[in-house]
Structure 1
Amino acid sequence: MPPLPLAPPVRQLVLDLGTPPPATFDNFVTGGNLEPVARLRGLFDGLSATAEPPADRTFYLWGENGSGRSHLLYALCHAAPADRARHAGPHSPLAAFEFEPEIVLYSVDDVNGLSSAQQIALFNLFNEVRAHARHALVVAGNAAPLALTVRDDLRTRLGWGLVYQIAPLDDAGKMLALKNAARARGIALADDVPPYLLTHFKRDMPSLMALFDALDRFSLEQKRAVTLPLLRAMLASLDGELQDG
């Protein structure tokens, strides 16, 4: 297995360590987001041909980075029947925003980063979804609709449907998320590791998960359990690499 790459200072560690487990509703720590999660979980029930079409088919989720809004979009696509959902964002081609009858769910992330052409395409997609009773659109961004730096007509459309602020996890929720991530990887995580991560490093979930993924790889390299001594050994190793570099 290749060695850990050189990294920025440990407390700002961000590493790309391969593909994490897929984002699903089951591995999303709900925290204070019970209502939006319940609404999204039940969305596909109303889109089936045998059910009454749902009254609410357009959603806008907003929150700070690491709040879980992107996780929920991926969870929706993961829960969808094969080839019936499409995910798009700032790096997607314009074709990803085109309406196709066989796609019942469209999810669009980071609307605040879309280009002008993508915003026009999303505006048109919104109108198409509203015109078809068994299709849904879920969009996510970093601010409430009125505060978004997007086209006025698109901003207005995003406010038409259900709007939810996705609340970030508290410390207990973050520790639960780390424990769940360990369980998903088959890792026996020592109880003192999550509290130590929370008290000594950046506390947002992307940074915590990046550091946890680094610890997971280091434990495999060292063939040792994930404990606080192992974490300290990894940090000492990274500090040594930074000094040598």
Structure 2
Amino acid sequence: MKQIPLPIGPAPAPDLHNFLPGGNAAALHHLQALALPSAPVYLWGASGTGKTHLLRGLAARCQAEGQRVGWFDAEEPLPWTLQPDWALVVIDRCEALSPAAQQAAFALFIDATTHTVQVAAAGRLPPVDLPLRDDLRTRLAWGHVFALQPLSDAETRAALRREGDRRGILLPDELMDHLLTHFPRDLGHLMKLFDRLDTFALAEGRRLTVPLLRRMLAEQPGGAADADEVRAA
């Protein structure tokens, strides 16, 4: 008979205080000190470097100060309309904007300038390399642009251990080594995998180990990366 895992509580919401900067201290400090409205901010880097975390942190900072925020993602349905009482408008995943969304994003920039609203955006590529219309690329590159770097192995380990401490779990070194060797070193992906494994371990009444991880992936495959791991086991 399996146990029913009891939720330990959601992970803390992304904010500027729980972001692990690693080599991205300049971007973090800029957002912490940003006086709104100011020049646009654009963050770019590979998946897992913390772009969305920082954008959410800036949004949370504004909301904590009683300001309203508009958030747009590449998959957000159109139309996109800027509200004049917003203090910040965010555009995430710029590399995936459709032609119609590019038009909407450009219009947001124009309206934000008219109403002195702060703009912050992010994408996987620097502005010059984005597959976007020229006038939108120019707007994204006009202000402060920060290239985000992934965490080092030591920093990723520290982040996983911190989450383990929050859950009251000691992560064995061999499990940490396995995670960093067999999976993408994307902190977001690793945290989701850790959450799955913790839930599975609670249901099975087992400690977190490499064999338990392999068994979970065999019984509950969750994607291409998991399938690769099962084959390599």
2:170 pairs, out of 171, 179, 189, with 189
CA contact (8 A) 1:189 1:225 kept: no
TM-score by length of 2: 0.81
Which amino acid in 1 is paired with 2:215? A
Identical pairs, percent:
36
Work out the number of aligned pairs and report it: 214
After superposition, give the CA deviation of every residue in 1:84-123 in whole Å (9 maximum; x if it has no partner). 112111121224x322121111111111111212111111
Corresponding residue for 1:80?
Answer: 62
Letter in 1 for 2:71: H
Match of 1:124 among 107, 112, 115: 107
TM-score, with length taken from structure 1: 0.77
Matches of 2:104 and 2:183 in 1, distance apart? 40
Q: Which moved more, 1:145-154 or 1:69-78?
A: 69-78
Letter in 2 for 1:39: H
- Give the CA deviation at 1:207: 2.9
Match of 2:90 in 1: 107
Instruction: Label 1:224 to 1:38 Cα distance change in 2 as closer, same or farther (>3 A).
Output: same
Q: Is the 8 A contact 1:104 1:136 kept in 2?
A: yes
Partner SS, residue 137 of structure 1: strand
Matches of 1:26 and 1:225, distance apart in 2: 31
Partner of 2:28: 37
Structure 2 counterpart of 1:232, from 211, 214, 229: 211
State whether structure 2 residue 110 is matched by structure 1 residue 90: no
Q: Which position in structure 2 is the counterpart of 1:6?
A: none
Instruction: For residue 221 of structure 1, report the CA deviation from its aligned partner.
Output: 1.2
Query: 1:18-29 residue pairs with structure 2 within 5 A?
Result: 20-29=11-20
Q: Secondary structure at the match of 2:103?
A: helix
Counterpart among 154, 177, 180 of residue 136 in structure 2:
154
Q: Is the 8 A contact 1:27 1:180 kept in 2?
A: no
Moved more, 97-106 or 191-200: 191-200
Distance 1:221-1:59 versus aligned 2 partners, 3 A rule:
same
Displacement of 1:237: 4.3
User: How far 1:240 moved relative to its partner?
Assistant: 5.5
Counterpart of 1:103, as a letter, is: W
Once the 2 structures are TM-superposed, how far is the Cα of residue 142 of structure 1 from its aligned partner? 1.1
Correspondent of 2:41 among 59, 66, 69? 59
Tell me the amino acid that sits aligned with residue 216 of structure 1: D
RMSD over aligned Cα atoms: 2.6
Shift of residue 209, structure 1, vs aligned partner: 2.0
**Aligned with 1:80: secondary structure?**
helix
Preserved CA contact (<8 Å) 2:73 2:91: yes
Structure 2: unaligned runs, 5 residues or longer: 222-233
Give the structure, 1 or 2, with the largest relative contact order (CA under 8 Å, sep 6 or more). Answer: 1
> Aligned to 2:145, what secondary structure does the other structure show?
strand
Q: Unaligned stretches of 5+ in structure 1?
A: 4-17, 48-53
**In the TM superposition, what is the alpha-carbon distance from 1:222 to its structure 2 partner?**
2.8
